[in-house]
Structure 1
Amino acid sequence: MRGTLLTLTGAAAFCFVAQANAAVIFEDNFDSYATIGDISPTWSATTTASIVTDDNGGNAILMDGSAPNGANNTAIHAITELKPTATESIKLTGRIYDDGAGNKRSAIGFRNGATPLFEMGRYNGLLDTSYAARAVNFPGANPSWVQLSTEGATEGWHLLEAIFTLDNVNVTIDLGSDGTIDGTLDIALDETLWAASPGFVEVRMGGPSGLSSAGGGLAYDNIKLETIAVPEPASLALLGLGSLAFMRRRK
């Protein structure tokens, strides 16, 4: 019993060290806004947004997508230029409410103009009822709108997550926000080119490239941008040894 306790303690200590340098850059649950006008200047002013109720009795922002092409269909939050490093990854999460209707173009993502840009959500140019993601003008990768889940559009609150490292972006979707990953996508990046590539300067929600969404938009909630520490190789090896010791102890 004592040996097992020590092993678990060591593993827990590793987890603490690996996350010690995590930092939240921006987070918004929209509950502090009494009217849609209150979102400015945190988010750019938009004529197609409204406050709705989320599944916990708080607020969410509905980007209805009815505007023609242009900035009024996209809410933008400016950030200091940001890109992954050898020691820190970038993590973007957000929840969307989808009524399951077709013909939608609405997403959450990053931009620095058009170079680079990243979006995840609904895009009717790929499949009318598909969840998808795209990474364009990134170092070493230019996939445009790749299907994220084999599931069609589903009514309910869904959790989207993207984690950027120097050589990869991993995108996941949790339909129903129940803790089960229902779709995942990995996009390889060229880490040697990041130094010369601009970082992200905007977090966005709404119409990709300001496009309208004839089938209605999505509601957005709990948008969070953070950096997370990249575990050092020595720490990973330590965790592996701890796990092996724990397995041996159980035997």
Structure 2
Amino acid sequence: MKRTSLTLLGAAALVTASATTSAAVIIDENFDSYADTTAMTAVWAGGGATLTADGTGFGDVGKAAAHPGGTVNEVLVTALKPTATENIHLSAKMLDDGAGNKRMTLGFRGGPFPLFEMGAYNQADANPYGARVTLFPGSNVSWEFFDEPGNPGTQATLAATAGWHTFDAVISLDKITVTVDLTSDGNIDGVFETALDGSGWDAADGLTSLRFGGPSNASSGGGGLTYDDILLETVAVPEPASIALLGLGGLFLARRRK
């Protein structure tokens, strides 16, 4: 049985690699190429982020963007929308000191709307991490917090935690899925998902601003976050058979964690 499970997991991993080989990378930012804050803000314009040492050992040369809250830093991109063949994928690592009561996110705007954000929002201690999906086709969700992986509808208990957290979002025609890994070790600690109306994308504005800092430029009473390894790309929509294999791999991982 163990060998069969590992085979299924390996197959799922191969499918994942195959599905992402056609990815078009739009932004791949580890902040290491900037000499100083002035150089960084020439690219990431607007807010109060400063270039800092990341102290992570992620395999890079050790720079990141520390943001205190308030006005976002942003990069403008050509209007992005998911299609029948490509999803939008966004991920990043965010360093939290564990103090709680933060309003700090990474996300998109398309003009004022649609608006997507993931990160920490306004909770003093318990369950501070969540996502917001505002005026997307078929979805207008204010802040929602993460569910337990594999258990939709049951809110995960995720206390404010010190360390580097990995946030990951996939936007497709018919849904948005966000995950958080609080230790950046590959184990998912929470999942947020909301359905979209795929037929509404033609009339919707595309996503034109990738930004980090305070949600809607809000201040953060509990201090800021540090951002690193921001990746924005388009990825191929998996074939149905691939999705089935990925599901089996996910079940195997869930069993191992139990």
TM range (shorter): 0.7 to 0.9
Go from structure 1 to structure 2 and tell me whether the alpha carbon gap of 1:87 and 1:100 turns closer, same or farther (over 3 Å shift): same
Confirm or deny: 8 A CA contact 1:109 1:119 kept in the other structure: yes
- Taking the aligned partners of 1:16 and 1:106, their CA distance within structure 2 comes to 31
Unpaired runs of at least 5, structure 2: 147-155, 250-258
Distance 1:238 1:37, change over 3 A: closer
Inter-partner Cα distance in structure 2 for 1:128 and 1:11: 38
Q: Does 1:62 align with 2:72?
A: no
Per the alignment, residue 34 of structure 1 pairs with 35
Which residue identity does 2:219 align to in structure 1?
Answer: S
The amino acid across from 2:124 in the alignment is D
Q: Of 225, 228, 249, which aligns to 1:221?
A: 228
- Aligned partner of residue 151 in structure 1, secondary structure: coil
For residues 147 and 36 of structure 1, the distance between their equivalents in structure 2, rounded to whole angstroms, comes to: 33
Task: Report the aligned-residue RMSD.
Answer: 2.5
Q: Deviations over 1:63-111 (max 9, x none)?
A: 012x5xxxxx210111000010000011000000000112211100011
**Aligned equivalents of 1:136 and 1:229: distance in 2?**
25
Matches within 5 A, 1:158-237: 158-233=165-240, 236=242
Partner of 1:90: 88
Deviations 1:153-187 (A, max 9, x none): 10000000000110010000001101110000111
Decide whether aligned partners of structure 1 residues 185 and 34 sit closer, same or farther in structure 2, where only a CA change above 3 A counts.
same
Percent of pairs with identical residues: 48
Aligned with 2:140: secondary structure? coil
Residue 53 (structure 1) shift: 1.6
Aligned length: 226
Letter in 1 for 2:33: S
**Worse-matched range after superposition: 27-36 or 166-175:** 27-36
Equivalent in the alignment of 2:151:
none
The TM-score with structure 1 as length reference comes to 0.82
**Alignment match, 1:21:** 22
